[in-house]
Amino acid sequence: MVNQASESTQESPSDMPAEISGLRMTRQRWEVYRLLLEQRDHPTANDVFMRVKDRLPNISLATVYNCLEALVQHGAIRQVNFERESSRFCPNLEEHGHFHDKRSGTIHDVTFKPGVQLADVLELPPGTLITDIEITLRGELPTAHS
Amino acid sequence: MVNQASESTQESPSDMPAEISGLRMTRQRWEVYRLLLEQRDHPTANDVFMRVKDRLPNISLATVYNCLEALVQHGAIRQVNFERESSRFCPNLEEHGHFHDKRSGTIHDVTFKPGVQLADVLELPPGTLITDIEITLRGELPTAHS
DNA sequence: AGCTTGTTCAAGAATAATTCCAATTTTCAT
DNA sequence: ATGAAAATTGGAATTATTCTTGAACAAGCT
């Protein structure tokens, strides 16, 4: 396969940064990242794979996984897990949880009320160092007509 | 294999209930459940499998999965997920989260401070129905000598 | 006790998400 | 431009879990 070269070096948009927080920004990583910024519906790796093919027809699923992992490790995006389902990915870096609406199957970001810190409401030994928090809710959002 | 019969009907302890919340209590389910009650270190299905073999040498991993699923569905135990690791199982039915200590690899139950309801501290549309909550933290517990 | 019907169990095959691997290609610094 | 290091690719491999099938079992009835 020879046309991969042309795909990878082709027309990298001028707004594509050389790197994000120390991560070398390749064409593939950039397109994956941009897609997540533009479509904030918490896609799975496979969703990203199918969508990003529009722009990078030759990208492989393994590369999508690699890109997502790199972006997560460099803090550019977050990985979200619901039960044992496929991981989903989210460019919202603020501290927030996720609400899974059973009715529509959609996932929504949920923030704390102003001034609330999770560490303040949990019973933890003093001196505990929290490096990562994950909050997931399942339920039903109110219907418009109720 | 014929000795399954003898194993299954053998000496069901007199304190084994006929059922738990509508779930027919078989020897296998009972041993799995009892093990979880006695060893509250959040074992995986495979951990349970290896441990329960002491009492039921012929039990299969599939049966352990079946038992755990049945117990979860009938509300007797909870299934806990950390990232994409194997599910872990927990007999603590009170609302609580889980703290994963990076230093020791152990998992600890975390409760809310008295009077706190998670729904009170989150920004959710009024009328939202929450059916399930999962809170997981990762970090380091303070050392004894610090 | 024996029959019937629905449930559970065991063993292994199958599945799905993810990771690994080796070869090629790209990137970046020189 | 060149070479070393890093990234990409496609496919194979892995892992946790679920599915499948037939045998064993339990419960209710006669």
CATH of the domain at A64: 1.10.10.10
Is residue A53 assigned to a domain? yes
Residue A58 and residue A101 share a domain = no
| Across B98-109, average pLDDT | 94
Indicate if A71 and A30 belong to the same structural domain.
yes
The residues on A that touch B, with CB distances below 8 Å, are: 79, 81, 83-84, 87, 97, 99, 102, 110-113, 116, 118, 120-142, 146
Q: What is the pLDDT of residues B49-101, one digit of tens each?
A: 999 999 999 999 999 999 999 999 999 999 999 999 999 999 999 999 999 99
Q: How far apart are CA A77 and CA A72, in angstroms?
A: 5
Position B9 in a domain: yes
Residues A113 and A67 in one domain: no
The number of C-alpha atoms within 13 Å of A106 and in the hemisphere containing its C-beta is: 8
Percent of chain A with pLDDT over 90: 77
Q: Do B71 and B99 have their domain in common?
A: no
Q: According to the model, what pLDDT value does residue B12 have? A: 67
Average pLDDT, chain A: 89
Binary contact (A139, B122; C-beta < 8 A): no
Give the SS3 label for residue A124: coil
Contact B140 A126 (CB under 8 A): no
In a domain, B104, yes or no: yes
DSSP B44: B
Q: Is residue A144 part of a domain?
A: no
Shortest distance between the Cα of B10 and any Cα of chain A, in A, equals: 36
Question: CA torsion angle for B47, B51, B57, B61 (degrees, to 10)?
Answer: -20
Work out the minimum CA distance from A65 to partner chain B, whole angstroms: 14
* Residue A87 is assigned to a structural domain of this protein: no
More confident call, B140 vs B143: B140
Q: Which residues are within 7 Å of strand C by their Cβ atom? A: A 1-2, 4-9, 12, 18-19, 24-27, 44-46, 61-62, 65, 69, 86-87; B 1, 4, 7-8, 23-24, 26-29, 56, 58-60, 62-63, 66-67, 70, 84
Pair A66, A31 in one domain: yes
Q: What percent of chain B has pLDDT over 70?
A: 90
**Closest nucleotide to A28's CA, by C1' atom?**
D8
The owner of tokens 């999508």 is A64
Please tell me whether residues B63 and B14 are part of one structural domain: yes
One domain for residues B70 and B15? yes
CB atoms within 10 A of CB A110: 17
Q: Which of B53, B80, B107 is the last residue of a domain?
A: B80
Spell out, as residue ranges, where chain A has pLDDT lower than 70.
1-11, 146
Q: What pLDDT does residue A120 have? A: 86
Q: Is B50 in the same domain as B103?
A: no
Structural domain count, chain B? 2
The torsion of the CA quartet B29, B33, B39, B43, rounded to 10 degrees, works out to 70
**Whether A73 and A34 share a structural domain:** yes
| Together in a domain, B69 and B8 | yes
| pLDDT greater than 50 at residue B107 | yes
Residue B45 within a domain? yes
Kindly state whether residue A85 falls inside one of the protein's structural domains: no
Instruction: Please tell me which of the candidates A81, A97, A128 has its beta carbon nearest to residue B83.
Output: A81
B125 vs A103: CA distance, rounded Å: 15
Closest CA to A99 of A80, A117, A79: A80
pLDDT at position A119 is: 83
Q: Is-contact A59 A53, C-beta < 8 A?
A: yes
Let me know whether B73 and B121 are in one domain. Answer: no
Q: What does the pLDDT read at residue A3?
A: 37
Question: Is residue B86 domain-resident?
Answer: no
Same-domain status, A22 and A53: yes
Name the burial class of residue A12, with classes exposed (0-12), middle (13-18) and buried (19+) by CB atoms within 10 angstroms of its CB: middle
Put simply, the answer to whether A142 touches B126 (Cβ < 8 Å) is: yes
pLDDT band at B16 (very low <50, low <70, confident <90, very high): confident
- pLDDT of B127 reads 93
Domain that holds residue A119: 95-139
Geometric angle at alpha carbon B63, from B58 and B66, rounded to 5° = 165
Tell me how crowded residue B58 is: count the other CB atoms within 10 A of its CB.
13
- Picking from B80, B108, B126, the residue at the C-terminal end of a domain is B80
